[in-house]
Amino acid sequence: MPQLHKNIEYPKARCICNTSLRYFLFCCVSAFVFLVSGLQELTAQNRQTIVARLLPESNTINIQQEIVFHNNSRDTLNTIYLTDWNNAYSGKNTALAKRFGEEFDKSLHLAKERVRGNTKVISIVDKNYRPVAWERTDSKDLIKVQLNFPVYPGEDFLMKLSYAIKLPSSEFTRYGFESNGNFTLRYWYITPAVYNGEWILYSNKNLDDLYSDKTDYRIVFNYPDNYILTSDLHITDIRKIDNLQQVVLTGNDRSDVKLYLEKQNSFQTYTNSKLKLTTNIEYKDLSPEIRDISVDRVIHFIYDHLGTYPHSKILVTETEYRKNPLYGLNQLPSFLRPFPEEFQYELKLLKTTLNNYLENTLFLDSRKDRWVTDAIQTYLMIKYVEEFYPDMKLMGGLSKLWLVRTFHIAQKNFNDQYPLLFMLMASRNLDQSLATPKDELIKFNEKIAGKYKAGMGLVYLEDYLGDSSIPEKIKEFYNDYTLLPVDATDFEMTLKENSAKDIDWFFDEYVSTRHKIDFTIKKVKKTEDSIYVTIKNKRRTNVPVSLYGVRNDTVLSKYWFDNITGEETFRIPYNQEKRLVLNYDKIIPEFNQRDNWKSLRGFFSQNRRIKLQFFKDAENPYYNQVFYVPTASYNYYDGVVLGMRLHNKTLTTQPFLYDIVPSLATKGNALVGSGLFAYRNYLDQDNLYLSTFSISGSSYHYAPDLRYSTITPAVSLGFRTDDFRSNIRESLTFRFVNVIREKDPVHTADNTSPDYSVFNTRYSYSNNGIINYFAWFTDLQVANNFSKLAFDIEYRKLYQNNRQLNLRFFAGKFIYNDTSSDYFSFALDRPTDYLFDFGYLGRSETSGILSQQIIIAEGGFKSKFRDPYANNWMVTANASFNVWRWIELYGDVGWIKNKLEPERFVYDSGVRLNLVTDYFELYFPLYSNNGWEIAQPQYNEKIRFIVTLSPKTLVKLFTRKWF
């Protein structure tokens, strides 16, 4: 009989007979569980018995565990791997910590020890109580066990573990201990990894995709009696000893064990003829009767479309929903939500229940083949809305408001969000194939776009087949593989079996690649009884496309064409259609839908009318949309600049872009503004993913009553690695900056021409991580009277002790310089910005608050010097490190060389308040070549600041983790 480890804490016996007796019986029950487990008849799958005690005061669980590992492979095993995902919270170099860093989240890196999780393994022994050798892998959340004797095919290996886990704070992944004293337990115990010819070893990356074999569980869980335990396992026994509650839980054919311990119960149980559902999904202002109807509707829908759930009850929680919510307008605060509460509650319940229904019954590799369950889940959500809420709009009740209803997006149905949000990524060349492993997906693809593409794929397939086979095949697949090992090829075989058409394209192109789908109608020719239509496959992605004949928004005909790899001409009957439209119902996630139609009423009817709209909208392929947005900005010489921005930027990115901002400067009532015309060509050629051809211009004032204008044609190439999650980006830019300025009468003595042109080429590299940041660029400028070469490198590192080091190096050298002023010279602290790249609020100011604005470029110094320019060469280095949170010490050193003068050594130092790096910072100089600056008069004028007012730039601060 397995022995309970002496280090596991149990209730202390009191010096009274009855209490001692109860304690003795309590321990006997725990031991009896192990005995029964050990005497069970061997079954051909894994079994686990766990005796655990929760200690809330230290957020720990002491565990005695017996694992029976069944070798269902044909190989003889000498090692076994165990997953210990709770230990992923233990350090700053685990896969989980690195994942957080990749998504610009420093919470786990900066976390105090008291909120981290870890696992302390006390012992691992075999069935004869002989110790077995074990070690952690580099990932820290996987354990390699070296067996004392081999496990042959079809045989079992029994191991006993004693360990203690310290639970993490739920602030990281929503699992662990909560601030209110409750506990959400998932991935809290050690369990074997899967072996199917090789070990499938997955680390915890906050993806909720632990891959485990089907297992029978028996758990004796001990916890203080002021808690209420909720689980989807069977409760076979409940005992109470003093202030301790002991619950015996059993469950067969399970993949995971989730436990919720609360001081006040938040769960409700609903029972109908199909299933018992326990949930704490939040709702607002829904009566018990309405909730009963909603739950019943959801359960029956899932049962009708999938089949019987093999377990007696299912647990659906708010925690699980919040980890994968309904993204969109229903993420708004409750007082702004435009959807009926009943609709929101049902979709929240449906999405989470479907996820658990599939996750708990299909033993699928949810990291490698997750697209299968994503496809089924999203497809059924689409069908649910079609069946019960067919008139629901994407913007809900907002679509009826007079300010909103004129927008094209307000006319879209709720299910139109799926192609819209997928195309948001595809139009930016950030989409990934459905076959991409889950941990390699960009966060937006993993959470939203990939799921939506998968679900749309089944809708696309269903429409192509033109029968009811897809719902039947999904149900067949679920029932054939419930509680069995399964992979994506099994799903493929089920869909292909007895298919009326060849659907190889779905798996070979739609699932396995990220090739864009893009068709156009090249030309049409109409006769009395026929139409000859030529369809061109612009991307050569071999998938079928639908063609509709439409008259006055009424569909008169529909055809499917496939195997179009170039241009193909088809003859169809003429049924008095007025136009032909490809993909009229938008079921196919097509890259460009603006060239999908041809009118049959003559050449001039092909032209799309111009539609003027406010702000921004979804793309309407039948109009040339021009958006107008009032704008406001500020600079010292123009004052508040009020403008009207005219652009064609829809929610999804278009290849051709224009953005014109005519404006009025309130200081001087002058007309100012800017404009951009660009063509972006997204590529899939090796690492070159984007080429941009543009011409831009601007006209503002650079000093009181002095105007400047720029005209800049440019070509830019963007490069990235094969790993889309990587923050590494490279670019090569060529531009020709033409500047036209009004001459400053104050500086008539110098011979600097007010107008000039500069050819500029720059290669830049950046790896913009939040833990490790590394970027550099080399820049060449050539003009009539000067040429210069510059090199800039920057490095930041957040160390294990939470100290951050910032280093920057700059070197610049004039190749030739025939200028007579310092306008084009290198600057220590405040470059003149003759290319007009920087967002100075007062670029020509030499005194006052605006002169204290600093942009870290060229020298990067913070102190002001009397002669800060170099017309020959400059070498500088900047460094800072934090002493407490966002308070840092900085220091700068450098050498500058002017023509006909010896080089000079310069330095400064001070305190930096790094409130938001690169966005809002303050610098307080202390000591420099100027002496002790803090002791000098008018010190407030020496303080420097960085501020970013651009909304577009600020938005990137919050969206960068998604893209």
Q: What does CATH list as the number for 362-511?
A: 1.10.390.10
Confidence (pLDDT) at 962: 82
Q: Where in the sequence of the chain do the CATH 2.60.40.1730 domains occur?
A: 45-254
Q: What's the Cα-to-Cα distance from 132 to each of 72, 142, 146, 193, rounded to whole Å?
A: 22, 16, 6, 17
Ordered DSSP codes for 340-367: -HHHHHHHHHHHHHHHHHHHTT-EE-TT
Bridge-based pairing of strands 485-486 and 363-364 is: parallel
Let me know if domain 45-254 sits in CATH 2.40.128.20.
no
Confidence (pLDDT) at 800: 84
User: Tokens 């290849």 appear where?
Assistant: 655
Q: Quick one: DSSP state of residue 167? A: P
Q: Alpha-carbon distance 82 to 64, whole Å?
A: 15
CB atoms within 10 A of CB 574: 16
Confidence (pLDDT) at 751: 56
Confidence (pLDDT) at 7: 36
Confidence (pLDDT) at 381: 98
CB atoms within 10 A of CB 238: 10
CB atoms within 10 A of CB 588: 25
Confidence (pLDDT) at 604: 56
Confidence (pLDDT) at 804: 92
Q: Alpha-carbon distance 66 to 488, whole Å?
A: 32
Classified as helix, coil or strand, 291 is: helix
Sign of CA dihedral 326, 327, 329, 334: positive
Q: Alpha-carbon distance 834 to 823, whole Å?
A: 7
Classified as helix, coil or strand, 81 is: strand
Q: What's the Cα-to-Cα distance from 555 to each of 463, 579, 580, 862, rounded to whole Å?
A: 15, 10, 10, 68
Q: Quick one: DSSP state of residue 4? A: P
CATH number for the 519-605 domain, one of 1.10.3720.10, 3.40.50.300, 3.50.50.60, 2.60.40.10? 2.60.40.10
Pull the structure tokens for residue 262: 């609360």
Question: Taking phi first (over 0 means left), then psi (-120 to 50 degrees means alpha), and beta for anything else, what does residue 872 get?
Answer: alpha
Sign of CA dihedral 558, 563, 567, 569: negative
Residue 168 CA, chain-centre distance (Å), reads 23
Confidence (pLDDT) at 801: 86
Classified as helix, coil or strand, 960 is: coil
Q: Where in the sequence of the chain do the CATH 1.10.390.10 domains occur?
A: 362-511
Q: What is the mean pLDDT of each run of 10 residues along the chain (963 residues)?
A: 34 35 44 43 79 98 98 96 98 95 92 96 96 96 96 96 98 97 98 96 97 97 97 95 94 96 97 94 92 97 97 96 85 76 96 97 96 98 97 91 89 94 93 96 96 97 95 97 96 96 97 95 93 95 96 93 95 94 94 90 71 90 92 94 95 92 95 97 87 97 95 97 94 98 72 87 95 96 97 94 94 96 95 94 92 95 95 97 93 96 96 88 96 94 88 72 78
Confidence (pLDDT) at 654: 87
pLDDT digits (tens, 9 = 90+) for 113-159: 999 999 999 999 999 999 999 999 999 999 999 999 999 999 999 99
> Which of 181, 226, 190, 227 lies closest to 210, judged by CA?
190
Contact (Cβ atoms closer than 8 angstroms) between residue 525 and residue 536: no
Pull the structure tokens for residue 164: 């203690």
Q: Alpha-carbon distance 448 to 433, whole Å?
A: 13
Classified as helix, coil or strand, 299 is: helix
Q: In 453-564, which ranges are E strands?
A: 485-486, 519-526, 530-537, 545-551, 554-561
Bridge-based pairing of strands 118-126 and 156-166 is: antiparallel
Q: Where in the sequence of the chain do the CATH 2.60.40.10 domains occur?
A: 519-605
User: Tokens 């392929």 appear where?
Assistant: 621
Residue 579 CA, chain-centre distance (Å), reads 40
Question: Taking phi first (over 0 means left), then psi (-120 to 50 degrees means alpha), and beta for anything else, what does residue 373 get?
Answer: alpha
Confidence (pLDDT) at 302: 98
